[in-house]
Chain A
């Protein structure tokens, strides 16, 4: 059982132009586990996720208070560099976002540009292959790395984005509804991939698909109207939640 905490938030509050979207969240994410964040639309789950790699503050009017501890440091401290941070906390979005003018290879190598210095070419080739293998895409694209990323299917494009996100070998991988734009088979591949990814990374996934949360995660956190209502082992939360609002939400009585 993992016992080390990879990332933790303390009294994290996020607002949009003074309007609170996420309120006073203190949550620990264990090393090499998958945490699913669930909740109805507008509950603040994506905003919370975007606070974990300092993307929320890029939104006009977006402010954050509280702390997010990673490697013993608060990512919101004055000395913390967002660019450095994003090497350690990768992110994949709802819709696949490959760079349309770049080849498959360049898309993955672009993930390394986040890192301060570009590796030498042979090392880069090595890292790209490793990332594509890690994202379960190598067997499908290994022989056509120079093809445009746009020649890939939606599911493949999403795995390409995962490869790009894991190329700099981050500690934490954030997934924001990673399969909501994908068909069931591509979704299944990503879900299986998440299971493999947790061996190397700590995964935090926002999903509005509760069955997906129950399938892929070790821990589930339920957000409602900006508050963290309940977080705990996924099997327990889906068989016997301790809070009645969690119960009502997961059994479809509201939301």
Chain B
């Protein structure tokens, strides 16, 4: 066994994990900014979200390349392999969360104002989705599978909030005098927030796999 190479591998792995944590900081900033423009439209903040997204994309590509190299050069196994796979998948999920933040800011930009219709519902979804993203990343860093499982369960709350907004939009559309543009954007923003919560759930599921080696997604665990 070539010990220096292996040491080098574990250093690289630790750096990669740090890079993912830095990426998650950028994503949390993007969600915080999206929440801000959801409260009050601000052109500059919308631009900031788009600029930030480019950095998030670059991080994702960088992490992907480094994971590929480590796999090709070191053929990791066991917890090292699970950590590399988790980093790869989580970076992909985080990149998507960044895209959803951009989508939200674009919707508000199209409206030219923060939505007034269903605003409280959207803000509650935003708060819960952000809490899930923050919590799921904390759980990943501390390798806390119990907390990750709690986060998976909390996805239902966001799904229900989304359904509520969906029904509300539907009833407005049937009202005879709908505000089509607002209805459309509110539904899209709600959908984006619901997806953010889904991606936070994916990350939580990946953390459970990392820690326990157990697959819980698609409710597969219940079938065993």
Could you tell me which A residues sit within 8 Å of B by CB distance?
A: 40, 210-211, 214, 238-241, 246-247, 250-253, 255
Contact = CB atoms under 8 A, between A and B. Distances in A.
Given A211-B75, A239-B81, A247-B78, A252 B1 contact: yes
A238 B75 CA distance: 11
Contact of A239 (B1, B9, B213): B213
Contacts of B10: 252
Contact of A214 (B3, B77, B80, B213): B77
B6 A250 contact: no
B3 A252 contact: yes
B82 interface: yes
Contacts of B80: 251
Nearest to B81: A239
Interface string B61-99: 000000000000001111111100000000000000000
Chain B CB within 10 A, most for which of A211, A240, A247, A252: A252
A117 B100 CA distance: 78
A211 to B, nearest CB: 5
B76 A251 contact: yes
Contact of B6 (A214, A239, A246, A252): A252
Q: Classify chain B's interface size.
A: 10 to 19
A68 to B, nearest CB: 30
Contact of A251 (B3, B79, B213): B79
Q: Is chain B's interface secondary structure helix, strand, loop, or mixed overall?
A: helix
A250 B76 CA distance: 9
Chain A CB within 10 A, most for which of B1, B80, B213: B1
Interface of B: 1, 3, 6, 9-10, 75-82, 213
B48 to A, nearest CB: 41
Contacts of B6: 252-253
Nearest to B2: A252
A193 B100 CA distance: 51
Contacts of B75: 211
Contacts of B1: 40, 252, 255
Nearest to B7: A252
Contacts of B9: 252
Chain A CB within 10 A, most for which of B76, B79, B80, B81: B79
A246 to B, nearest CB: 8
Nearest to A242: B213
A217 B98 CA distance: 43
Given A238-B78, A239-B81, A250-B78, 20 more contacts: A40-B1, A210-B77, A214-B77, A238-B77, A238-B81, A239-B78, A239-B82, A240-B78, A240-B82, A240-B213, A241-B78, A246-B78, A247-B78, A247-B79, A250-B77, A251-B76, A252-B3, A252-B6, A252-B9, A252-B10
Contacts of B77: 210, 214, 238-239, 250-251
Contacts of A238: 77-78, 81
Nearest to A41: B1
Contacts of A240: 78, 82, 213
Q: Which 5 A-B pairs have the closest CB atoms?
A: A240-B213, A252-B6, A238-B77, A251-B80, A250-B77
